[in-house]
Structure 1
Amino acid sequence: MPKKIYLAGPMTGLPDFNKPAFIAKASELEQEGHIVLNPAVLPEGMKWEEYMYICIPMVSVADEIYMLKGWEESKGASIEHKEALAQGKSVVYEV
């Protein structure tokens, strides 16, 4: 059975919201047979809080969370990381 993996990382303030990094990692994980929960495919134009209302439940249904480089500097990714740990999720850190 494929693993459901949520991607977390910095977006706000980065060129193109760092979507190329999210999309590249999602593609790699999908090629490995995983189901990827990718916040970078959400529509643009909503408030930050609205994205978090969507993303935290995505973390909840994931088996694992994958932290992209620079996540430590991201308020949202830090919240997602904390939530994943609180739920006992496996966490993988990009090197």
Structure 2
Amino acid sequence: MKIYIAGPMTGYSDFNRPMFNLVASHIANDGHVALNPAILPNGLTQFQYMDICLAMIRCADAIHMLHGWQESEGAVAERALAMKLGLKISYQFEESAA
């Protein structure tokens, strides 16, 4: 499976890259392809990041939501697209009402 990782980045130390990278390594170790937005370079606009990330989601079979995703406008939008596309959605910590 190709699994996109979604979660909060803005306002986090190093844009939360350590958590994204840790989860990506777990996904890869499980034999899947991790689509990891944390590998994108610095210096793009928010619009450019979202454009690239939405394209990655369209290539994915599933999306994995990191803790705190609800606080990120980008991650909320990514989840909405995943839902619309019928992708499997998993959560870093089980959602009580998901």
Q: TM-score, length-normalised on structure 1?
A: 0.96
Identity %: 48
Secondary structure in 2 matching 1:54: helix
User: C-alpha displacement at 1:13, in angstroms?
Assistant: 1.1
Q: Name the structure 2 match of 1:46.
A: 44
Match of 1:6 among 4, 23, 31: 4
Show structure 1 runs of 4+ deviating over 4 A: none
1:21 matched to 2:19? The reply is yes
Unaligned runs of 5+ in 2: 94-98
Distance, in Å, in 2 between the alignment partners of 1:82 and 1:11 is 18
Q: Name the structure 1 match of 2:85.
A: 87
Query: Residue type matched to 2:69 in 1?
Result: W
Deviations 1:61-87 (A, max 9, x none): 100000000000001000000000000
Distance, in Å, in 2 between the alignment partners of 1:19 and 1:75 is 17
Distance, in Å, in 2 between the alignment partners of 1:94 and 1:31 is 16
Secondary structure in 1 matching 2:42: coil
Question: What number of residue pairs does the alignment pair up?
Answer: 93
Q: Over aligned residues, Cα RMSD in angstroms?
A: 0.5
Q: Name the structure 2 match of 1:65.
A: 63
Secondary structure in 2 matching 1:59: helix
Secondary structure in 2 matching 1:66: strand
